[in-house]
Amino acid sequence: MALGNNSSAIYVDIRNGKVFRYSKTEQEGTTPILNSKGEKKHYFIYDYIEGHVTGFSTREEEMQGTTKLVFQVHLSDGGENYVVKMGVETAYFRMFCSVMPNIDWSYPVRLIPRIKEENGVKKSSMIIVNNNNPVKFYFTKDNPNGKPDIVVTRNKKNEIVDIDREDETQFFLNLVAQMKDKLVHLAVAKQPTASISVITEEETEVVLPKSKVKASFTEDESNDLPF
């Protein structure tokens, strides 16, 4: 006799500073949004998502005619399973990976995406809360801990015309593979014990030096971590 557990997951996307859950039909609480094809889609939109991390995975998805790699965080909370999706080219992915070594996987993780606009520039960020405290960056400018630098190309006017993150992205994907072995089974997972801390914008905001970025970049590609 074979034994197993049947479970279905709820898929959500982190983008535009929110957590989006797709709905096949218009329902109370959904927001209609036009996609790139002009089609109306309906979403439940949330400020954050929280749960115990049970796994990581990646998948390729077609987005506006381009194949992109998507990073997925698997969460469990109150008997519900969630898959949280974020593009590997986004600041959300980089910020999550940049705090991973400092996360205690015994406790739930809360993901709080943010976005704001200053002087016409959109700045994406994400707060990662663990045991009711914001998690600090493990990889910083003063202490990169082995993380490779991004390669920035500038023109004669010293404007940024290209950002190469290939080595950084591969470094983070290798880190994700290592972190899988550190995850804690739900049977021994813990609930938060610390009092919640005050979280400030300064702890999470990321942006490149003030330079013009070519228009083909997305909002998240024009941001960077404080390396």
Q: What is the pLDDT of residues 111-170, one digit of tens each?
A: 999 998 888 888 899 999 999 999 999 999 899 999 999 988 999 988 888 888 999 999
Q: How many CB atoms lie within 10 A of CB 43?
A: 18
Residues 6 or more apart in contact with residue 47 via CB below 8 angstroms: 18, 19, 112
Cα–Cα distance, 44 to 42 (Å, whole number): 7
Cα–Cα distance, 107 to 110 (Å, whole number): 10
- Listed residue (196, 190, 208, 3) closest to 91, CA to CA: 208
Positive or negative: CA dihedral 18, 23, 26, 28:
negative
The model's pLDDT over 154-203, given as tens digits with 9 standing for 90+, comes to 999 888 888 889 999 999 999 999 999 999 999 999 998 866 555 544 44
Question: What is the C-alpha radius of gyration for the chain, rounded to an integer number of angstroms?
Answer: 18
Q: Pick the residue with more confidence: 208 or 85?
A: 85
What token pair was written down for 94?
């980089």
57-76 pLDDT, tens digit per residue, is 999 998 778 899 999 999 99
Residue 66 phi/psi, 5° resolution? Answer: -120, 135
Residue 46: which residues within 8 A CB-CB, separation 6 or more?
12, 18, 19, 20, 21
**96/100 Cα distance (integer angstroms):** 6
Question: Quick check: 12 and 92 in contact, CB under 8 A?
Answer: no
Q: Is 145 left (phi over 0), alpha (psi -120 to 50) or beta?
A: left
Predicted model pTM:
0.82
